[in-house]
Chains A and B, each alone.
Chain A
Amino acid sequence: MILPWLIFIPFIGGLLCWLAEHRNKTLPRWIALATMLLLSFFSLWLWWTGDYQLAPTPGATAVWAVEFKHAWIERFGINFHLALDGLSLLMIILTSLLGLLSVLCSWKEIQNHVGFFHLNLMWILGGVVGVFLALDLFLFFFFWEVMLVPMYFLIALWGHSGSTGKSRITAATKFFIFTQASGLIMLVAILGLVLVNYQNTGVLTFDYSQLLQATFSEGVGYILMLGFFVAFAVKLPVVPVHSWLPDAHAQAPTAGSVDLAGILLKTAAYGLLRFALPLFPEASAQFAPIAMLLGLIGIFYGAFLAFGQTDIKRLIAYSSVSHMGFVLIGIYSGSQQALQGAVILMLAHGLSAAGLFILSGQLYERLHTRDMREMGGLWSRLPWLPAISLFFAVASLGLPGTGNFVGEFLVLMGSFAHTPWVIVIATFGLVVGSVYSLIMIHRAYFGPTRAEGGLAGLDKRELVMVLGLAGLLILLGVYPQPILDTSAATMAGVQQWIGSALSQLVTAR
């Protein structure tokens, strides 16, 4: 029974926030904080007590650490089916943690319509938790779309207007249309899969474990797989369909950026690992070279564009595109090590991007600009913040000792055996990564000062947020073993699907 509560807690908490607004301006913040603490507590408790050796593997009936199932729409064989394994647990812990931070980092930033803001924030998180738990394809799509609307409001109503004169509403609408259209393509693919299965077996079902057994011809599988891939590619984002991301990030309030970069992008990677690969192993194996190429393009394209940005949040946004390229390569490499690396990288990027966005939000509160041309020389005017920014920047470029290094290293090392050339090129991505990270620090904090006078230092709330994130990143960098253990079983399953399909493909050639 605990799984549905993980979803309901944020939804109920959000409603309470809205209702509480009439009484008091700060009450919604405390309710949201309590909601997120409760969610973190439950997810950590699940981690502490659960046994995550169970995960779906090919050829066997799917087994889960925790499962919940209730009939929902019998007409189509749709169930309210939730289940938890190591991967989804890690993602939920990340969600609750970043949820906590996004409540904290909007404590001073958001002053208008506080209750409605937190309603939207909580509902995004509820939708995301739903995506990570749903095992019925209809339910998965349901949550996939549910999280869009509050995110739209977050950007459209509390966002900043862009530095190039683009409005926040345009950015929010762009985000919505991209994800909604690609989501509908996924819906068509889901229905195609279900109906093909129905024609073969006579059972109308949207259930994940039953659809894993579905059989279809090669061409059909490839097209259906593409339908899923498009939706995930837009959200990840993969390069030709990434253009919503920088706009949405630049215009979103800090909490929105934290959630967008930290969690929403991860739902795409999760979707690939949970659905696209296991449901269509052969088609995915055929598609792997293209996906890896797209990943490579993403790494360099994101890095080069990040280098060229003047808006600090756009720079971080493009760096996300670059990092997600590594994740994509890891996912499609078909080796256990690289898959594990992709998981670590997802977590580490969630933490480091959240840190950078929170810091640039704090910078914005002090300077009222995100334009790096107007910064410069801040190191002498501001205590603490520049140094911490430097830490997150080097974490983002993958310095050993931080989680990002572990993730990238595992991805590169694991994939090298299968696809040496891709990895050789991808490694240079680390070099350009350090270029844009350091240029960000250089432009913003070094050089001549633009204005005189000190700026307010970080208060306790701000320090706790960023130092906590830094601590977690270091912990992930020096002792990632608990995380690796938790996700091992799931990744082993995924590896068997994609790995065997890849090796079949090699022998067939």
Chain B
Amino acid sequence: MQFTTSHFAALLPLLVVAATAIVVMLNIAWRRNHSITFGISAIGLNLALLSVIPAVKAAPQAVTQLLLVDRFACYYMALILIATLACVTLTHAYLGKQQNEGFKGNREELYLLMLLACAGSLVLVSTGHLAGLFIGLELLSVPVYGMVGYVFFNHRSLEAAIKYMVLSAAGSAFLLFGMALLYADSGSLAFSVIGQAEASELMRLGIGMMLVGLAFKLSLVPFHLWTPDVYQGAPAPVAAFLATVSKVAVFAVLLRLYQTMPATSEGWLNTLLTLIAIASILVGNLLALLQNSLKRLLGYSSIAHFGYLLVALIASDGLADEAVAVYLASYVLTSLGAFGVVTLMSTPFKEQDADSLYDYRGLFWRRPYLTAVLAAMMLSLAGIPLTAGFIGKFYVIASGVEGHLWWLLASLIVGSAIGVFYYLRVMVTLFLMAPGLHRYDAPLAWGQQAGGIMLLAVAVLTFALGVYPQPLLDLVQHAVLATSL
């Protein structure tokens, strides 16, 4: 295959991220320095974000059989890079500046793992081939095991890492089995070839198996059992990464799979997906009601949110692609904001994160702006107007109405009504009278550090997109899938 500049341009974001990972690794080997490592990672990710522009110009461009960089891929690449950047800044705030305060172990490797996982996500969103899908997914998952267990001297973190690893491996096994069935049926691993083949029962079974594997990663009911424990055990910035980057990448590849394979939306597969969606919405929201830990609550709420997203996936024509893109963007912003506040509250590193709701009582009267950010994020998760979450929910409902999915819409409405209850519970906690003694508090100058600035930017963006979403919608309209190689 001829390798031209346009191939190079299309691949540039991935190359930059990979190069950054290598530079960070060499830097660690040469001399450990937290600030320098953070600086290199941040610069690398920014460069990668810039290099999405030439990639868009080159799109659609197939690079080998494995990768297909189209505008769709570029949109999600940008989203992933922004989210990773945010997670990196949060990590910097979380681990603490000086060697003798905050985190006890080595700090630098967390950046390396994060960059590797980011590279995996970039592969995942731009792949049009089952082999690419698997490589991307594993490149994403394996570093995440390490990230979840990074605070290894804390037994919760370690438990979460092992739980995530075992279940994730089981998910991958399902995925591989499904791929094998698809290959047996059609004789190819490329999405487009499989999509053109006649839909047989074997193929449906294969897709169903793959669905199970991907549902593990997306923590859809009934494959959600790991989510709350892992969210709670993982360090806050890693939980943010898990909630945003990893889920966006997997959902993007699921969407591509669905749009290129007509067989996915036929027969019992559709019913299965509908049931999964309804179960995710209801179970996620109902279990979130019982939580007293903010991180677990966010974990359950993310189950429900991916249930909402499935509504758009099932509608699968008309507005659906745009709805998914807008919803994911708003969800990423909101999750980053919410986990960002948890991170800043837990800084510098302490044995356990500030995740009990009790720690947040009356925060508003001590840190009004930080609390306003968290309150805005809760409203955005609940889908109240003036926030980006509302636009996302509006889009999902619109695509559901367009596809006449009345049962799904009914469960979405019931789910949102339940959801409002616990989001409001968090919100009102922030404004209640503060207890006399508080174990956790954000540093007074939180707004002047990278993490704080990022958080304020996220909050402003959430508000701005809620009031004037037109720029995002324009962008999303161009983020179309390329139909073939």
Contact = CB atoms under 8 A, between A and B. Distances in A.
Say if A and B assemble together.
yes
A153 B431 contact: yes
A177 interface: yes
Given A74-B470, A145-B385, A184 B428 contact: no
Interface string B378-393: 0100101110001000
Contacts of A146: 384-386
A173 B427 CA distance: 11
A456 interface: no
A181 interface: yes
Interface in A61-81: 72-76
A72 B417 contact: no
B444 to A, nearest CB: 16
B418 to A, nearest CB: 8
B379 A191 contact: no
Interface string B30-44: 000000000000000
Contacts of A181: 413-414, 416-417, 420
Nearest to B391: A73
Nearest to A181: B417
A501 interface: no
Nearest to B416: A184
A149 interface: yes
Interface in A141-188: 141-143, 145-146, 148-149, 152-153, 156-157, 169, 172-173, 176-177, 180-181, 184-185, 187-188
Contact of B421 (A73, A141, A145, A173): A173
Given A176-B420, A181-B417, A184-B397, A145 B470 contact: no
Contact of A191 (B385, B401, B413, B425): B401
Q: Which of A145, A176, A180 has the most CB of B within 10 A?
A: A180
Interface string B441-485: 000000000000000000000000000111001100100000000
Interface string B302-319: 000000000000000000
Given A145-B384, A187-B394, A192 B424 contact: no
A188 B413 contact: yes
Contacts of A195: 398, 401-402
B385 A173 contact: no
B110 interface: no
Given A176-B420, A184-B413, A75 B474 contact: yes
Contacts of B397: 184, 187-188, 191
Contact of A149 (B379, B402, B473, B477): B379
Contacts of A145: 384-385, 390
- 9 closest A-B pairs by beta carbon, nearest first, are A181-B417, A75-B473, A191-B401, A184-B413, A145-B385, A142-B385, A156-B428, A180-B420, A191-B398
B473 A73 contact: yes
B38 to A, nearest CB: 35
A73 B398 contact: no
Contacts of B402: 195
B119 interface: no
A446 B72 CA distance: 75
A357 to B, nearest CB: 23
13 contacts: A75-B477, A142-B390, A156-B424, A156-B428, A157-B431, A177-B417, A177-B420, A177-B421, A181-B413, A184-B416, A185-B413, A192-B401, A195-B401
A188 B401 contact: yes
**A-side binding surface: helix, strand, loop or mixed?**
helix
Given A153-B431, A195-B401, A148 B384 contact: yes
A142 to B, nearest CB: 5
Interface string A96-120: 0000000000000000010000000
A347 B326 CA distance: 42
B283 interface: no
B409 interface: yes
A148 B417 CA distance: 14
B464 to A, nearest CB: 13
A173 B419 CA distance: 11
Given A180-B420, A188-B409, A188-B413, A149 B401 contact: no
A496 to B, nearest CB: 30
Contacts, number: 78
Contact of A72 (B384, B421, B470): B470
A187 B399 CA distance: 12
Contacts of A76: 398
A169 B431 CA distance: 11
Nearest to A193: B401
A72 B466 CA distance: 12
A143 B390 CA distance: 12
Contact of B424 (A73, A142, A173): A173
B470 A73 contact: yes
A72 B394 CA distance: 15
B424 A152 contact: yes
A214 to B, nearest CB: 15
A73 B414 CA distance: 28
Interface in B194-252: none
Contacts of B386: 142, 146
A176 B424 contact: yes
A250 B477 CA distance: 49
Nearest to B477: A75
Contacts of B409: 188
Q: Which of A143, A185, A188 has the most CB of B within 10 A?
A: A188
A282 B66 CA distance: 58
Interface string A301-331: 0000000000000000000000000000000
A192 B473 CA distance: 21
A142 B467 CA distance: 10
B427 to A, nearest CB: 8
Interface in A247-293: none
Nearest to B398: A191
Contacts of B394: 138, 187
A156 B420 CA distance: 14
A75 B401 contact: no
Given A142-B385, A142-B386, 8 more contacts: A73-B468, A145-B385, A149-B384, A156-B431, A169-B428, A181-B413, A184-B397, A184-B417
Contacts of B390: 142, 145
Contacts of B379: 149
B470 A75 contact: yes
A165 to B, nearest CB: 18
Contacts of A141: 385
Contacts of A152: 424
Contacts of B474: 75
Nearest to A169: B428
B277 to A, nearest CB: 16
Contact of A73 (B365, B469, B477): B469
